């Protein structure tokens, strides 16, 4: 198993720190991210498009936590922005560009982590 601590949008230094050198734990978390993120992206997009504030909040919050662990600070900040807008029931259409940037970063990171794990 290859370890790739840096990608286009991610940095695994924080994960390595909390894993305390446990490569198996790091692999498990990155593998979970790779497997779950595409579905969460789809669910977030569906909730966002439907103006379903509760589900948008839920998925933005869940993705934010994953992004933070994987050192994706910009993606985490977008998740927070979407989460707060949703909690406050603001018009989400003004955040469509943010959503697209988030989807792009998560898609690239998922791809890179999947390749690194191979």
| pLDDT tens readout for residues 14-53 | 999 999 989 999 999 999 999 999 999 999 999 999 999 9
Confidence at 2, pLDDT banded by 50, 70, 90: very low
Q: What is the pLDDT of residues 48-85, one digit of tens each?
A: 999 999 999 999 999 999 999 999 999 999 999 999 99
For residue 45, give the CATH number of its domain.
1.20.120
pLDDT of 1 above 90: no
Residue at 3 is within a domain: no
Residue 85 within any structural domain of the chain: yes
Q: Please check whether residue 83 lies inside any domain of the structure.
A: yes
Q: What is the dihedral of CA 68, 66, 37, 102, to 10 degrees?
A: -30
The whole-number pLDDT of residue 4 equals 55
Instruction: Tell me, yes or no, whether 35 lies in a domain.
Output: yes
Q: pTM (2 decimals)? A: 0.91
By the 8 A CB rule, do 87 and 52 touch? no
Number of domains in the chain: 1
């Amino acid at each position: 198993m290859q370890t790739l601590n840096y990608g286009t949008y991610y940095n695994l230094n924080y994960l390595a720190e909390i894993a305390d050198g446990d490569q198996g734990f790091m692999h498990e978390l990155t593998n979970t991210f790779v497997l779950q993120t595409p579905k969460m992206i789809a669910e977030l997009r569906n909730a966002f498009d439907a103006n379903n504030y509760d589900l948008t909040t839920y998925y933005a919050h869940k993705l934010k936590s994953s992004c933070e662990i994987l050192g994706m600070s910009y993606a985490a900040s977008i998740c927070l922005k979407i989460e707060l807008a949703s909690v406050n029931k603001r018009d989400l259409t003004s955040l469509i560009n943010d959503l697209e940037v988030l989807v792009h970063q998560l898609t690239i990171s998922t791809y890179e982590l999947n390749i690194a794990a191979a």
